[in-house]
Amino acid sequence: MINAQTQLYGVIGNPVRHSLSPIIHNGAFRRMGLNAVYLAFEVENLAEAISGIRGLGVRGVSVTIPFKTQVIPFLDEVEEVAGKIKAVNTITNEGGRLTGQNTDWRGALEALEEKIDLKDKRVLLLGSGGASRAIAFGLKGKGCQVFICNRSLHKARALAEELGFVSLPLSCIDGLDTQVVINATSVGMHPNDTQSPLQKEFLKKGMTVMDIVYHPLRTKLLQEAEEQGCQTIAGLEMLARQGAAQLQIWTGRRPDLEEIKEDLRRALG
């Protein structure tokens, strides 16, 4: 029951009405028996929103597009890896002191490591936006050899140079010997369900293919990967895990991942 003890959490972003974070967090709070509620805040003015978080004692806040980088100067402390990624997706408020962390890379790495040992693997990473950047830093920490492709080549080149990886145009990947493929672009996302970022023929038996797109649940890339005999990891896996990692930061407890995934599947139909 919501009462005078209820703690407030939320997500700031714009647009934010499509966010699945309230589904993840409210379901988990209920099952964990916590007196807490999580709301979506469509923010116009970030400085005012941050003042509101401090002023009202909002306990924890998820940060989404377009604020993940912009929010950094407003925080009192940012964990090292989030600072390097230059993106914070998790704010924790302790008595007005705001700390920032990034759970996107953790979510992606946990989802991958459940299926494969990443050490020394050769990885094709598609995309050079915020999500791709977080995943690239995570892969760097595991000693992976990463090849980055992106529609805007200059962004792939900049990210690859920053991390000591290789960038190349998508038209040049034929014959590239990789064990892992990660789509961190929005290609294939609803309503463009019939698109895939890759030619099916590139996908070979034994590869592990992860898509960060979670709507639809099974993207064209994942369907084709399965048809080619690849091991697949759906976008839902990363989404659920980045949320679970936030809950752990805020409450000190690990929520039930399967229940979170079930809530998400239901929400996504």
Q: Choose, from 68, 121, 220, 261, the residue flagged as catalytic.
A: 68
Among residues 19, 21, 101, 132, which is the contact residue for ligand ATR, using CB under 6 A? 132
Note whether 13 binds ligand ATR by CB under 6 A.
no
Rounded to a whole number of angstroms, the minimum distance from the CB of residue 1 to ligand ATR is 36
Tokens representing residue 64 in the block: 């989404």
Closest residue to ligand ATR using C-beta atoms: 129
Among residues 37, 54, 129, 204, which is the contact residue for ligand ATR, using CB under 6 A? 129
Rounded to a whole number of angstroms, the minimum distance from the CB of residue 148 to ligand ATR is 9
Count, residues near ligand ATR per rule CB under 6 A: 15
Q: Pairing mode, if any, of strands 145-149 and 208-211?
A: unpaired
Note whether 157 binds ligand ATR by CB under 6 A.
no
Surface-to-core class of residue 181, CB atoms within 10 Å of its CB (0-12 exposed, 13-18 middle, 19+ buried): buried
List of residues 6+ apart from 184 with CB closer than 8 A: 125, 126, 127, 129, 131, 132, 135, 212
Surface-to-core class of residue 163, CB atoms within 10 Å of its CB (0-12 exposed, 13-18 middle, 19+ buried): middle
Residues 119, 149, 111, 42, CA torsion sign: positive
34-93 positions binding ligand ATR, by CB under 6 A: 65
Residue nearer to ligand ATR on the CB measure, 16 or 34: 16
Note whether 131 binds ligand ATR by CB under 6 A.
yes
Q: What burial letters (b/e) apply to 124-152, b meaning 16+ CB within 10 Å?
A: bbbbbbbbbbbbbbbbbebebebbbbbee
Note whether 155 binds ligand ATR by CB under 6 A.
yes
Note whether 199 binds ligand ATR by CB under 6 A.
no
CA distance 182 to 195: 15
Note whether 185 binds ligand ATR by CB under 6 A.
yes
Note whether 219 binds ligand ATR by CB under 6 A.
no
Note whether 150 binds ligand ATR by CB under 6 A.
yes
193 near 219, Cβ under 8 Å? yes
Query: Quick check: helix, strand or coil at residue 8?
Result: strand
Residue 220 annotated among the catalytic residues of the structure: no
Q: Which amino acid is at 246?
A: Q
Rounded to a whole number of angstroms, the minimum distance from the CB of residue 4 to ligand ATR is 38
Note whether 130 binds ligand ATR by CB under 6 A.
yes
Among residues 84, 115, 142, 151, which is the contact residue for ligand ATR, using CB under 6 A? 151
Contact stretch for ligand ATR (CB under 6 A) within 29-37, 75-83, 94-102, 179-187: 179-187
CA distance 109 to 256: 18
Contact stretch for ligand ATR (CB under 6 A) within 44-52, 125-133, 140-148, 260-268: 125-133
Summarize as ranges the residues that interact with ligand ATR (CB under 6 A): 65, 127-132, 150-152, 155, 184-187
Q: Which residues belong to the active site?
A: 68
